[in-house]
Structure formats: structure tokens, C-alpha cells
Amino acid sequence: EDQVTQSPEALRLQEGESSSLNCSYTVSGLRGLFWYRQDPGKGPEFLFTLYSAGEEKEKERLKATLTKKESFLHITAPKPEDSATYLCAVQAGGSGGGADGLTFGKGTHLIIQP
Amino acid sequence: NAGVTQTPKFQVLKTGQSMTLQCAQDMNHEYMSWYRQDPGMGLRLIHYSVGAGITDQGEVPNGYNVSRSTTEDFPLRLLSAAPSQTSVYFCASSSFDATEAFFGQGTRLTVV
């Protein structure tokens, strides 16, 4: 059974204080690991897809990395608008962008204080 | 380009009532799916479809039916609503060669 565990459950940072969110996973045959951002009352918004250990992707203040057992979402010098819940998901087998089935973690609720 | 559109945004049902949650996408995506999101549980897959006429069950399919008669639409039916189906429901779509799935804005359903 595929499993995704995210830590911490919640994180409060000061503006400019860099940190990392963790996503540990067990999956039989990883096709892709996905990071999404979710704002209150909204649907998940795509951030990154990682496919193989050692891969890294960046977008503004966010950088995602992948190993064989976990992924990290590094947030550098965050701003209050980075406050959101960050979701990690894995896709085992299949094809496409994952709408044929993703296994999600419970998310990390991130608050950036001015 | 509207993306993935879900209707209604909010719904209150009485136990035993039936209803259909609508999901439409205008991106010609082959794959579509339904998730429910509950506090402390994360998003869980209910049903998915890899093309018109093809559907399959996800992790939590009981109490829900789906069909896919067109590429654009993937409705989720609750035949006899139960309080345990109180949740926020999200529809997603992607193409077979895509690197991401697009999500709708969600339907918040309360069953009393």
C-alpha cells in the first residue's frame, strides 16, 4: 500500500526565515512525486513534479528535491503570501499527470508572520 | 479557458437524499478523478476515469457512482447520502502525457 507522510503538520516562521518541509513515501514503483499548494477554500494548485532521485526543481522561493525515500520542499526567505497548506502526493505506475490516481499526504500548514 | 469547473460550490443534503456533483473540463484531458478531503485525512481518491466509457474505483468508492459519457464531463453521484459523506469534494483532470493534474475549486457538501 502506498503511503505518504508529511512533517511537520504545522510550521510557523518569521518572514525571511528559511526552512524545509519533509515528505516521506513508500510506493511500489514511483512514477512521480508531486507538490501542490492549497489556500483556504481553494483547490490544490500545482507546484512541481519530480521523477527520479537527485532531481531538483525551483520556482521563486521554493525548491523541491527528491531522494529514494523522501522529498523536501525548501522555502528560502519566505513572505507572508507563502502562507498555505503544502501537499505532497505520489503516483505509482499509470501515466499522465496523475489524475488517474494520486496518494496524498495530510499536508503541512505553513504560516509566515510579517 | 475555464480549466476544471465544479458545481455546486456548496450543498446541504438530508440523510437519504440523492444528488450529483458536476465536474467539467475544457482542456480535452483523458484522465479525470474525484477526491474527498476531510480534516486530518488528506485527499483520498474516490473514482477515476482514463477516458470516455472507462471508470474505476479508488480508495474510498463506497456510496458513490460515476460515469463518463463524454471527455469533458465526469459527474459524481451520491445515491443515498449519509452524514459520513460530509466532506469537501475535488475533481481533477490531466492528459496522458502531462506532468501535472489540474484541480477544481471544490464542492463543500454537508449531510444532516
pLDDT tens digit sequence for A5-57:
999 999 999 999 999 999 999 988 888 999 999 999 999 999 999 999 999 99
Cell of A112: 509566515
User: What integer best gives the mean pLDDT of chain A?
Assistant: 93
| Number of other residues whose CB lies within 10 A of the CB of residue B78 | 20
Interface test with B, best of A39, A102, A103, A106 (most B CBs within 10 A): A102
* Binary contact (A96, B43; C-beta < 8 A): no
Nearest chain A Cα to B41, which residue? A106
| CB < 8 Å to A42, chain B | 105-106
Q: Is the dihedral of CA B72, B2, B61, A34 positive or negative?
A: positive
pLDDT given at position A27: 87
The DSSP output letter for B53 is T
pLDDT tens digit sequence for B48-70:
999 999 999 999 999 999 999 99
Nearest chain B Cα to A40, which residue? B105
Cell of A63: 525548491
pLDDT given at position B95: 85
* Binary contact (A99, B96; C-beta < 8 A): no
pLDDT tens digit sequence for B88-110:
999 999 987 777 889 999 999 99
* A100 or A2, which is more confident: A2
Spatial distance between the Cα atoms of A108 and B90, rounded to a whole number of angstroms: 19
| Number of other residues whose CB lies within 10 A of the CB of residue A72 | 16
